[in-house]
Structure 1
Amino acid sequence: MEAELAKRLAAHGWEDQRWTLLRVRTVIGRRFHLTYTIQGVRKLLVRNGWSCQVPARRAIERDDEAVAGWVKEVPAVSHPLA
């Protein structure tokens, strides 16, 4: 499954750049001839270390060099619940 998810979406017939649970379920069905529910796909992905993420929208004004400098200067803060 890792190898299939590492392929570009275009290799599986989708033109945009976003994996969805429905698309992962479709790839599992096509490649491995298995049927999962959407929640089953989510649990399978989480169990294997994948997380649900949404691509970040970045401001046009964003200065990547300034961000990189800030990341180097500011120490990482642990989340109290982590």
Structure 2
Amino acid sequence: MRYAQGGGLRRPEQAARERIRMLAAKGFERGEKSMVIAKDLRVSRRSVERRRRSWRENGVDGLRFSRPAKARKVG
């Protein structure tokens, strides 16, 4: 099943997920193992591994939510 842009999450939910990703980034910087980070943040190890790969390729910016592909028109 595919979700709408942003995973179908509203802004507060996106912010909460991004906060978790930033906490994971701190764990990456400390050299913690994926299983430890996953347990601490209560997420799956696979999710942590996916985020670690993104972090390696793009740094912290790779973990941030990007804006929707189609921005709404204002006005």
Whether TM exceeds 0.5 here: the answer is no
Structure with larger RCO (C-alpha < 8 A, sep 6+): 2
Query: Which structure would you say has the larger Rg?
Result: 1
Give TM-score, length-normalised by structure 1: 0.24
Q: If the length of structure 2 is used for normalisation, what is the TM-score?
A: 0.25
Instruction: Decide which structure has greater helix share.
Output: 2
